[in-house]
Amino acid sequence: MSAWESSVLDAGSNPEWKSLLPKLVGDLDTWSERMQPIAAKVSNGERLTLADGIVLFEHPNLSEVGRLANCIRSARFGSNAFFNSNVHVNQTNICVLACKFCAFRRSKKAKDAYALDINAYLEDLGQYAEHVDEVHSVGGLHPDWGVEHYAELFKASRERFPHVSIKALTAVEIKHLSQLSNMSYKDTLQRLRDAGLGSLPGGGAEILDDGVRAIICNGKESSSEYLEIHRTAHELGIPTNCTMLFGTIETLEQRLMHMIQLREVNDDTSGFQCFVPYPFLPDHTRLPEAQLATGSEILRTIAVSRLMLDTIPHIKAYRMNIGDELAELALQYGADDIDGTVQKESIMHLAGSTTPLDHDRIRLARLITDAGCVPVQRNTTYERFEIFVPPEPKPRRGLKMASP
Ligand code: SF4
């Protein structure tokens, strides 16, 4: 089968995935003593607790944590790894807030402030529209753009590019629009959905702990507002992603509580399709106290996410943030999606990302096959899938080894 479909709820997961776990986890004697109780729970399809999560974060053998995470990934998706053809168009960098970690926002008067009006946005998107089926649009909280501005923008985009699904506006942007337009979250989301909004990205979750939020993103939506906005979207039939920004000032326990709150929402709604854990990038930002995550910590956090988030189908290795090399490795640590062709992106690149933007499907497929997986192109909401068969690669250069 080279192409298939799934429901939005399953999002491409094998609905019987839990029944495959005993075979994939195998004999408990093959696991270290400390991991055995957790491996047993995974094998039985039981939910992991906060205490289990701490053990996973502190376990000295990282590859064993990755191996267990990969059992779940394989049960859900076999060796498939997903990507899509998308472009990021960040509509404005003007923002009424000034989150401490943000390198992107500008005040309205800043020399390099910009705001794409509807025509400029369509022109930008038009440069890529032929090659993509998703536009990912997030930006600053513009003081003058309310719900009607975005409704017009989405309507015009859908009319001009009907094949391009709109994934746009993080929870804090929804909150901002609803305040500016004096509408409830439900009415705001309904208006935007009716104008063409297809799904919400997960950005802005940072860490769902109001003490941490007061320091790193004072003024942004609270933890409960983030969850409420996503819950409301799910109830309106709008699927969403969720994220976690780690490596700022949070504790391991706060990371785990973040995951636990998300999975509890999904117990009720099944509307979160993908979790995107990404580390804080420090350049040009204002958070000197951040405890930056190392490469191993990034892989471990991805693996722990896969193990804790039993009700969220996909775990994304966000290559715009962690780079192609770690994203490729993350596919062996529980991640199953590496985002898309992207083409254009500002937020992570202003914060220090050097990930190339010019990837086409062939280069993405190469990352995936090198990680031992099968590249599968998906649509935005994980309902349509097609195995992508790249052309045969050129034979690799044989490097001469130096003689001793
Ligand atoms: S993270 Fe978002 S809300 Fe916060 S300052 Fe940056 S653009 Fe504004």
332-341 pLDDT, tens digit each: 999 999 976 7
Question: Does 397 fall in a domain?
Answer: no
Tokens of 111: 């020399």
Mean pLDDT of 306-312: 97
Mean pLDDT of 361-383: 91
Residue minimizing CA distance to atom 4 of ligand 1: 99
- Same domain, yes or no: 24 and 54: yes
Going by pLDDT thresholds of 50, 70 and 90, the confidence category of residue 248 is very high
Mean pLDDT of 223-238: 98
**pLDDT for 378:** 95
Residues 63, 88: Cα–Cα separation, whole Å: 33
Mean pLDDT of 7-29: 95
Question: Does 73 fall in a domain?
Answer: yes
- Same domain, yes or no: 71 and 85: no
Question: Does 235 fall in a domain?
Answer: yes
- Same domain, yes or no: 92 and 27: no
**Chosen domain end from 60, 77, 94:** 77
User: How far, in Å, is the centroid of ligand 1 from the Cα of 125?
Assistant: 22
Going by pLDDT thresholds of 50, 70 and 90, the confidence category of residue 145 is very high
Closest ligand 1 atom number to CA of residue 95: 8
Tokens of 298: 């990034």
Inform me whether the pLDDT recorded for 348 exceeds 80: no
- Same domain, yes or no: 263 and 353: yes
**Chosen domain end from 31, 55, 77:** 77
Overall residue count recorded for the chain in this entry: 404
Residue minimizing CA distance to atom 7 of ligand 1: 140
Tokens of 79: 């060796």
User: How far, in Å, is the centroid of ligand 1 from the Cα of 30?
Assistant: 46
**Whole domain around residue 34: which residue ranges?**
3-77
- Same domain, yes or no: 245 and 359: yes
pTM: 0.92
What is the three-class DSSP state of 68? helix
Residue holding tokens 């994980």?
382
Q: Please answer whether residues 321 and 350 qualify as being in contact, where contact means their C-beta atoms are separated by less than 8 angstroms.
A: no
Inform me whether the pLDDT recorded for 151 exceeds 60: yes
Tokens of 31: 């696991």
Q: Based on the number of CB atoms within 10 Å of its own CB, is 260 exposed (0-12), middle (13-18) or buried (19 or more)?
A: middle
- Choose which residue among 91, 100, 104 to substitute to test ligand 1 binding: the one with the highest number of ligand atoms within 8 A of its C-beta: 104
User: How far, in Å, is the centroid of ligand 1 from the Cα of 95?
Assistant: 6
Question: Does 303 fall in a domain?
Answer: yes
Tokens of 183: 């509408």
- Same domain, yes or no: 248 and 304: yes
Residues in CB range of 358: below 8 A, 6 or more apart: 343
**pLDDT for 397:** 61
User: How far, in Å, is the centroid of ligand 1 from the Cα of 144?
Assistant: 16
Closest ligand 1 atom number to CA of residue 139: 7
Residues in CB range of 144: below 8 A, 6 or more apart: none
**Chosen domain end from 77, 112, 130:** 77
CA angle (153 as vertex; 149, 159 as ends), nearest 5: 145
Question: Does 399 fall in a domain?
Answer: no
- Beta carbons within 10 angstroms of residue 123's beta carbon: 11
Residues in CB range of 102: below 8 A, 6 or more apart: 95, 217, 285, 351
Inform me whether the pLDDT recorded for 344 exceeds 70: no
Residue holding tokens 């636990």?
260
User: How far, in Å, is the centroid of ligand 1 from the Cα of 134?
Assistant: 22
- Same domain, yes or no: 145 and 55: no
User: Taking CB atoms and a 6 Å cutoff, what residues make up the pocket around ligand 1?
Assistant: 95, 97-99, 102, 104-105, 140-141, 172, 217, 220
- Same domain, yes or no: 256 and 298: yes
User: How far, in Å, is the centroid of ligand 1 from the Cα of 330?
Assistant: 27
Beta bridge partners of 68: none
Inform me whether the pLDDT recorded for 404 exceeds 60: no
98 vs 42, residue with greater confidence:
42
- Same domain, yes or no: 172 and 194: yes
Name the phi and psi angles at 277, rounded to 5: -85, 125
- Same domain, yes or no: 139 and 37: no
Q: How many domains does the chain have?
A: 2
Question: Does 64 fall in a domain?
Answer: yes
- Same domain, yes or no: 67 and 89: no
CATH number at residue 274: 3.20.20.70
**pLDDT for 321:** 87
By mean pLDDT, which of 77-81, 115-119, 156-160, 277-281 is the weakest?
277-281
User: How far, in Å, is the centroid of ligand 1 from the Cα of 295?
Assistant: 25
Tokens of 276: 């995107």
**pLDDT for 282:** 79
Residues 124, 365: Cα–Cα separation, whole Å: 26
Closest ligand 1 atom number to CA of residue 101: 1
**Residue 142 CB-half CA count within 13 A:** 18
**pLDDT for 335:** 98
Mean pLDDT of 358-370: 82
49 vs 283, residue with greater confidence:
49
Residues 63, 224: Cα–Cα separation, whole Å: 35
Closest ligand 1 atom number to CA of residue 140: 7
- Choose which residue among 105, 207, 222, 321 to substitute to test ligand 1 binding: the one with the highest number of ligand atoms within 8 A of its C-beta: 105
Question: Does 404 fall in a domain?
Answer: no
**pLDDT for 1:** 64
- Same domain, yes or no: 91 and 54: no
**Residue 359 per-residue DSSP state:** -
Inform me whether the pLDDT recorded for 395 exceeds 70: no
- Choose which residue among 106, 112, 141, 281 to substitute to test ligand 1 binding: the one with the highest number of ligand atoms within 8 A of its C-beta: 141
User: How far, in Å, is the centroid of ligand 1 from the Cα of 104?
Assistant: 7
Mean pLDDT of 215-243: 96
- Choose which residue among 93, 95, 176 to substitute to test ligand 1 binding: the one with the highest number of ligand atoms within 8 A of its C-beta: 95
Question: Among candidates 157, 146, 93, which has minimal Cα distance to 119?
Answer: 157
Residues 48, 58: Cα–Cα separation, whole Å: 15
**pLDDT for 362:** 84
User: How far, in Å, is the centroid of ligand 1 from the Cα of 84?
Assistant: 26
Question: Does 382 fall in a domain?
Answer: yes
For the chain, report the end-to-end CA distance as a whole number of angstroms.
Answer: 50
Percent of the chain with pLDDT over 70: 92
Transcribe 230-261 into DSSP letters. Answer: HHHHHHTT--EEEEEEESSS--HHHHHHHHHH
Closest ligand 1 atom number to CA of residue 173: 3
Inform me whether the pLDDT recorded for 361 exceeds 90: no
Alpha-carbon Rg for the chain in angstroms: 21
Inform me whether the pLDDT recorded for 187 exceeds 60: yes
